[in-house]
Amino acid sequence: MNAELENYQDQLLSIKQGAPGIVRGLSPTQFNRRPAPDRWSVAESLDHLNLTARRFLPFFDQSIDAAVVRGLTAPGPFAYPLLERLFLVAMEPPPRVRIRAPSAFIPARNRAVDEVLREFTDWQDRLGERIRRADGLDLRRARLRSPFVPWVRYSLGIGFAVILAHERRHLWQARQVRNELDRA
């Protein structure tokens, strides 16, 4: 596996291992408690990531399949355009700009800890499968269509980096809520 994808797998492992620690020991009430009316609970942060993965993974599949059909292969390393790199930086925690989630990505309220965490782990495993499937592809030339804005396309490699940054962003958010609960 190329170094970039290995790095993404390492990031994914860290994300997957971090989530249980955030929810460990929380009661169902604490898990679902919003710290303020305009802020998400730990449950909502994780459920939002589940919704995002559910929506994104088919687009990764399309991108990977199209790259295979077109024979877009390269060993890397890959250099990405400036706008794509800036988009990635904007997704990293802590958030510099709050972005309102589109309605399809608004999480459910009052979810069970075990259910949300089980879904989260399953989606992380599925994302890991996509990262493995992309090995050998030209991550710069393979294009990924945005599930948010259909006319926006970016590199497959940046797509992986962005979804992982987005996950770190919302785990950071959930960790902040958890810290507030611990101090209360």
Can you tell me the distance from the alpha carbon of 69 to that of 83, in angstroms, rounded to the nearest whole number?
27
The closest alpha carbon to 169, from 40, 58, 10, 27, belongs to: 40
- The two tokens of residue 147 are 């599930």
pLDDT interval class at 27 (50, 70, 90): very high
pLDDT of residue 101: 82
- State mean pLDDT over 134-157: 93
What three-state secondary structure class fits 157?
A: helix
Nearby residues of 96 by Cβ (< 8 Å), 6 or more positions away:
90
Residue 174: which residues within 8 A CB-CB, separation 6 or more? 19, 22, 42, 45, 46
Separation in Å, CA 24 to CA 36, 165, 184:
21, 23, 16
Which tens digits make up the pLDDT trace of 114-132? Answer: 999 999 999 999 999 999 9
Q: Are 56 and 152 in contact, with CB atoms under 8 Å apart? A: no
User: DSSP state, 41?
Assistant: -
In angstroms, the Cα distances linking 42 to 13, 27, 138, 149, 178 are 20, 11, 36, 27, 7
**pLDDT per residue over 52-79, tens digit each?**
999 999 999 999 999 999 999 999 899 9
65 CB neighbour count, 10 Å cutoff? 12
Report pLDDT digits (tens) over 99-116: 788 777 888 888 999 999
Residue 168 near residue 89 (C-beta atoms within 8 A) = no
Residue 99 has a pLDDT of 78
Kindly tell me if the per-residue pLDDT of 46 is higher than 90.
yes
Q: Are 126 and 110 a contacting pair, CB within 8 Å? A: no
